[in-house]
A and B are shown apart, each in its own frame.
Chain A
Amino acid sequence: MVVNQIPFEEFRMLIRRQGLRVAIGPFNVCIHTSYKPLIEQLYLLYSHYRIVQDEIAEFHVRIVTERSLRNPFKRNVRFLLDGQSPFESFPQEQALAALEWGINLAIAVRVNHLLLLHSAVVEKNGHVILFPAWPGSGKTTLCTVLSYHGFRLFSDEFGLMDTQRQLFLPIPRLMPLKNESIAVIRNYLPDIVMGRPIPNTQKGTVAHVRPPEKSILLSKHTCKARWIIFPKWIADTSVKIEAISDAEAFMMLASNAFNYEALGAAGFGAVANLIRSCDCFKLVYSDFDSVMEVLHQLTNET
């Protein structure tokens, strides 16, 4: 059963009462909230997720509303993980952003049975491309475009790797576009479903893109990695892709992972093997058409 197969009222009852359990990649997340604007947004943006009411959920999250102490006429929302609040409260318009950041935080701090790379991940022809983050590299924007143009979305944020089997696990979540990217993507992909832009968050204006249905449907299909590409968006440059050394790629990948250090020797071994089995590149681009041409060329060479 998928979210869009149940009527809104039933969805609302679930999320208010026992909590809505959805499968997001390898994890089940149980979401509780009574805040109606958030429920409406989730009904639209989570519409392709599988409902798993009878399964164990690893993450239990809640968005609750509360009055601001300083201004009693204003309402805030608070994110709770297992009843604990890891963040400050947010203005109520930011409920969706708070929920999405909260779930990311929960994954980042709790999951250690997988290696968590900080990277966008897509799949093409049965192989995974990693786009590890550089600050301001625009990985989410690139990832959004690719996932609606023939690439399967794994994640715009987490490279989840089973270190023993050297496999990547898809975890397709909403993709939060920031600031200028929102209009850029609206123009480039006019048909995709996107949440309302949320202004004045810690990261500026954010709008969440719903992942493609097919990527969610196939989110149990794991793949090995074949390419590691460090992307950078620079205005008005022509697209350029060049190979980089394994050592350089290793340092950039390992130093930017969520739990590389916690995994110790297992983490080192996994990243070393990963680099050995992949071709590593740096990519500079400014427009989507030419970057996709380069990537299609690269992935079809095999």
Chain B
Amino acid sequence: MAAQTPRMDGPERDTVRSLLAELWRDRLQPSRPGSGRETPSGRLIHGALFVTATLSAFVTIGIVLVLIFETVEFFREIPLIDFFGSTKWSALFAEKQFGVWALVWGTGLIALIGLAVAIPLGLMAAVFLSEYAPPRVRAVVKPILEVLAGVPTVVFGYFALLSISPVIRDIFGQDVGIYNALSAGIVVGLMIVPIIASLSEDAMRAVPRSLREGAYALGSTRMEVSLRVVLPAAFSGVVASIILAFSRAVGETMAVTIAGGGNPQFGVGPLEAVQTMTAMIVQLSLGDTPTTSIEFKVLFAVAMTLFVLTLGMNFIAQWVSHRFREEYE
């Protein structure tokens, strides 16, 4: 039974009605089709917000234009084959050579050392946090790992140069230079551990519980569930996290500038000084390079290479995580 509601009748009701009508007359104007219910000021706000949203597109366009503009200038003077077809780099000497592979080698070497450090640490951490750790432990450990991601890269550079490099020299002998790819690579690895650990853990936690239970019900140990069911099921996320971490390692600048040295040489080993693309950009930026000089333009050609590389890897990571994601209901 519905509760009885007080009802108004007669003149009382009419008064209320007319009052209401008066109150709402201005508001209840039929709106023009397509305009929604937006007032002129509402439309203004809408427009302003739209502009802020499109700004990010202009940033991308700006980056591409800036890079392309100077890169084209560069290739007007230096043929493409000298840039991509050579492994010798000597931009600051009288006899200039612009073989980008020397820089790519340094970048790749440090990034790969970084991955060699970060993949085992990061994946192990992810498996532990997602499969083994009780919630309370995870709540403590995960933020601590993420602190690693918040440390400024210049701090890692200090650590590599003044703490890790001496240890490496103690191990491999004093003829190893104080600047070497290994120390830079190790700190780059530390920097990307949280990326791999965090994203992989997310991917593994997204694996439905039912799958784990299915495996346990067949008599699996925790390790077998982790490694043979959860990890394969989260594979796309794990791979994407590794690619993203690699992309981050390639774009990393300060630590490799400080600790990696300034030796753009193709084919050198991990115990020698190298120079990455980013370190080269810093080196050229620190000097007062005239904006019309070839050194200034090569900056952008190298940056373009870096941009295309990292963007490509980011796209691959996105593609992998979408294309190979297992769809569970």
Asked if A pairs with B, the answer is: no
